[in-house]
A and B are shown apart, each in its own frame.
Chain A
């Protein structure tokens, strides 16, 4: 079956530092990968959508300078949160799409101190 692994599951970083998270699709080839953030008590905001053979498209309020994404092949993507501050805390979810189906990882929970 289709699975998406995210690493790490939980992480704590000091304010102003950066952290990288990874997303691995297993059992299928993802035509696109979407990164979402769920801030405390909120819904899932799309950060960026990365589609094979296309440029990564960032949503309003999110920039490549703050959330650089690497999507080197159909099964792997990584995203870095640069200069993390308190408002960056939350659950970061990776969703890998094949056809019409999205498979989500378990998320990386980021705590900023």
Chain B
């Protein structure tokens, strides 16, 4: 079945610097890709959903890149600020409604002033 590897498990950056989190997946049928943010003690907040046909997606203060050839998904937070400190999870699923959403191991991001 699908396996998702997320790196790094922990990341500390200074305020204003960029932070990059990467996930690799194994199932070539993967079609939907998600990035979630989890603040301490809270549930999941969807940051972005990416379809397999779109390679670059820009959100508020971040960019998501999808490389289907390498089966790699990345989240790049540009100019990180302390409010970005949280756990981040990628998740991947195939297109069928019967397919499951598989999460990466998570990255704990700390943005220091």
Contact = CB atoms under 8 A, between A and B. Distances in A.
A93 interface: yes
A45 B4 CA distance: 12
Contacts of B105: 42-43
A34 B97 contact: no
**A contacts with B: majority SS:** strand
B101 A102 contact: yes
Interface of B: 6, 31-32, 34, 42-44, 49, 89, 91, 93, 95, 97-98, 100-106
Interface of A: 31-32, 34, 36, 42-44, 46, 49, 51, 54, 59, 91, 93, 95, 97, 99-102, 104-107
Contact of A32 (B98, B102, B103, B104): B98
Nearest to A59: B100
Contacts of A93: 43-44
